[in-house]
Structure 1
Amino acid sequence: MILIVDSGATKADWTALNEKGMKEFGTQTLGLNPEVLTEEIVMERLTTNEQLNENRKRARHVYFYGAGCGTERLRTFLHAILQRFFSNATIVVKEDTYAAVHATTADGEKAIVGILGTGSNCSYWDGKELYQAVDSLGYSLMDECSGNFFGKRLIVDYYFKIMPESLRSKFEHQYELNSDVIKSHLYKLPNPNSYLATFGRFLVENKEDDYCNRIIKEGLQLFINHWVVQYEVRNEVPINFVGSIAFYLQDMVREVFAANGLKVGKILRKPIDGLVEYHLHHGNRK
């Protein structure tokens, strides 16, 4: 059995294929980001999934693409946990950008590939190799235009009373905004980035409001100014995206990028289906 995994910071999508390439099952766990989770939490999220636990000995290959897997240290950390759980399998761990590339580009196609979900990232794929111009420092310093980036902005604007009164009441009704609760999630509980991203949904739901519209466009422009400009080929190749922020705001993504003379290509909410097709086509390629 082959397991193919696309793990964001919030959720991880798993697809199991048999030796004939037929799908046996699909399942989901909470995200397995090694930047923000301990070994104990990662293992708990694996063992509490009934389908994974029942089939852990059957797995012969596990291809894991995940947020937080951009450095060798973190890939090695997660690899060891997965190897312990799937003891009979060959484990391959790569950063989530590879999943975005394989899901949105054809063989040999060149593209800039961005992730706009709970977190954000941007890389260049030359058809064979992946180039990362800037190493991401994660949700506390970077992640421009992501769910957690927008979540931070909304909370700050709410507390400083910058958010328009018409939206403040909706925001209060939708979220628990007690300062002790917020600080507990940010400084004591796991996955503060995923917690912040839950507030980002408010922007999507209210994107036609002038205040929300402005914040979204400012975030998109910041993503271009910080990330996309790193690549000299930005005007020569399409810019593809995966992630819920890009997917649900794709009309605005295309508008802002076009205003900057940039061409947006494919936008997918989740890369898992394209990732499965890639592995079916290429076999057990690392």
Structure 2
Amino acid sequence: MVISKHKRNNLFYFEQNYQKHFVLFFFFVQTQGSGGNSSILVTGFTFAKKHSMLLVADGGATKIDWAWTLDAGETAFAETGGFNPTYGNADLGEKLKKELADLPHPAGRMELYYYGAGCRAPEAVGRARAVLQAVWPQAEVNVFDDLLGAARATCGTQPGIVCILGTGSNSMCFDGEKVVDQIPNLGVLLGDEGSGAHIGKELLRAYFYREMPDHIRQLLSPQLPGGRDEFIKTLYAQSNAGSFLASFVKLVAGLKSDAWVNGLVQSCLEEFVQRHVLKYPGAASLPVHFCGSIAWHFGSQLDAVLQKHSLRKGKVLRKPIAELFKFHLNNASSQPFTSDRKNS
């Protein structure tokens, strides 16, 4: 299969050619959604055969990556704003529905696999499914924890330790088919070690406690014009505090080689490895895979921590969506998520 991406002004289209199938063209116009979230508007597509459409999503609190097809081998990608049904409210659900309205809506049969942050408790799974089903009433909607998506994208059907380091963090031990052990994720208030929210929290603590060098302080000062009182007011007004805290990491992302930034990030990653990865029996003998923007952007800091503990680094994916979509194309009869996890 050959995938090519073309851009003219704001017009994007993907074309894929493969034997014994017709060629499908998708045309996209990049738009600006409400709240600053980007979305993709499908303006037209043509196809020669009628098949069940496959739509796969990897959803985080900040953004959701989508991949879809009308036949094996015909693939397109898009990004919308994020959603965490654990913390989400009705407004977030309605906002997401508006963004999803821009994605394809075939008249025929459709299979949707949504792997989302916070999609573990039955109530959260039901909330996410209701939002998706309202957008695609004809679809067979399957909702799973984003950890299963990360496992399928990195491990495939092989055993390994799977970690997510994005806005939040999570981990598990995977035997190639199911979760066999998981250190619990305690969320943004008590956990999320090594995540963007954790690093952002440590940056802000250092800023207000006067524990950071002046050249870093100058980067944060324009973002905190109202000082402590205004910041606290804004923080507690957030519907998603994790995304808000993680947004401050972008201010220092370009200073990875700075000694102070390097030390702060490495200490957060060290805490994640200590509290999660090293707790799994046999961690030293299994590949340790990572998904998420923090693992991707701070790869050298992550390497240093893993080497310190003689851990074997596996795949590191900024976005698991492409590999996750391939998994579904290659495993059309994927079994429902099962777990023998120990989670105490």
The TM tier, using the shorter chain, reads over 0.9
Match of 1:114 among 155, 160, 163: 163
Match of 1:103 among 143, 150, 153: 153
Q: Deviations over 1:108-159 (max 9, x none)?
A: x111011111111111111111134222121111000100101111111101
Distance 2:180 2:230 in 1: 40
Q: Deviations over 1:223-244 (max 9, x none)?
A: 1111012201101101010111
Superposition CA RMSD, Å: 1.8
Conserved in 2, the CA contact under 8 Å of 1:83 and 1:91?
Answer: yes
The 3 A distance-change label for structure 1 pair 235 and 91 is same
Conserved in 2, the CA contact under 8 Å of 1:57 and 1:86?
Answer: no
Q: Which shows bigger deviation, 213-222 or 177-186?
A: 177-186
Distance 1:71 1:233 in 2: 28
Match of 2:118 in 1: 68
Distance 1:91 1:156 in 2: 42
The structural deviation recorded for 1:20 is 4.0
Q: Which amino acid aligns with 1:26?
A: F
Match of 2:201 in 1: 152
TM-score, length basis structure 1: 0.92
Match of 1:91 among 141, 150, 153: 141
Conserved in 2, the CA contact under 8 Å of 1:246 and 1:253?
Answer: yes
Match of 2:96 in 1: 45
Match of 2:48 in 1: none
The 3 A distance-change label for structure 1 pair 49 and 182 is farther
Match of 2:325 in 1: 276
Q: Which amino acid aligns with 2:67?
A: T
Q: Which amino acid aligns with 1:210?
A: A
Match of 1:36 among 63, 84, 87: 87
Q: Which shows bigger deviation, 127-136 or 55-64?
A: 55-64
The structural deviation recorded for 1:176 is 3.5
Match of 2:247 in 1: 198
Q: Is 1:242 equivalent to 2:294 in the alignment? A: no
The structural deviation recorded for 1:202 is 3.2
Match of 2:56 in 1: 4
Conserved in 1, the CA contact under 8 Å of 2:168 and 2:195?
Answer: yes
User: 3-state SS of the aligned residue for 1:189?
Assistant: coil
Distance 2:106 2:194 in 1: 37
- In the TM superposition, 1:115-134 aligns within 5 A as 115-134=164-183
User: 3-state SS of the aligned residue for 2:217?
Assistant: helix
The 3 A distance-change label for structure 1 pair 197 and 85 is same
The structural deviation recorded for 1:56 is 6.6
Q: Is 1:263 equivalent to 2:315 in the alignment? A: no
Whichever structure has more strand as a proportion of its residues is 2
Distance 1:266 1:43 in 2: 35
Q: Deviations over 1:172-205 (max 9, x none)?
A: 24x2452455334422232221111111223432
Q: Which amino acid aligns with 1:2?
A: L
Q: Deviations over 1:31-85 (max 9, x none)?
A: 1111221133123212234422x51755611100011112222112211222222
Conserved in 2, the CA contact under 8 Å of 1:8 and 1:31?
Answer: yes
Q: Which amino acid aligns with 2:244?
A: Y
Distance 2:106 2:242 in 1: 29
If you compute each CA radius of gyration, which structure gives the higher value, 1 or 2?
2
Q: Deviations over 1:87-113 (max 9, x none)?
A: 111111111111111111243x11101
The 3 A distance-change label for structure 1 pair 15 and 222 is same
- In the TM superposition, 1:183-194 aligns within 5 A as 183-194=232-243
Conserved in 2, the CA contact under 8 Å of 1:185 and 1:195?
Answer: no
Whichever structure has more helix as a proportion of its residues is 1
Conserved in 1, the CA contact under 8 Å of 2:72 and 2:329?
Answer: no
Conserved in 2, the CA contact under 8 Å of 1:7 and 1:67?
Answer: yes
Q: Which shows bigger deviation, 212-221 or 132-141?
A: 132-141
The 3 A distance-change label for structure 1 pair 161 and 237 is same
User: 3-state SS of the aligned residue for 1:112?
Assistant: strand
Flag structure 2 segments of 5+ consecutive residues without an equivalent: 1-52, 337-344
The count of residues paired between Structure 1 and Structure 2 equals 282
Q: Which shows bigger deviation, 131-140 or 272-281?
A: 131-140
TM-score, length basis structure 2: 0.77
Structure 1 runs of 4+ with >3 Å offset: 56-59
Distance 1:57 1:223 in 2: 45
Identity %: 31
Distance 2:132 2:333 in 1: 18
User: 3-state SS of the aligned residue for 1:139?
Assistant: helix
Q: Which amino acid aligns with 2:198?
A: F
User: 3-state SS of the aligned residue for 1:100?
Assistant: helix
Match of 1:78 in 2: 128
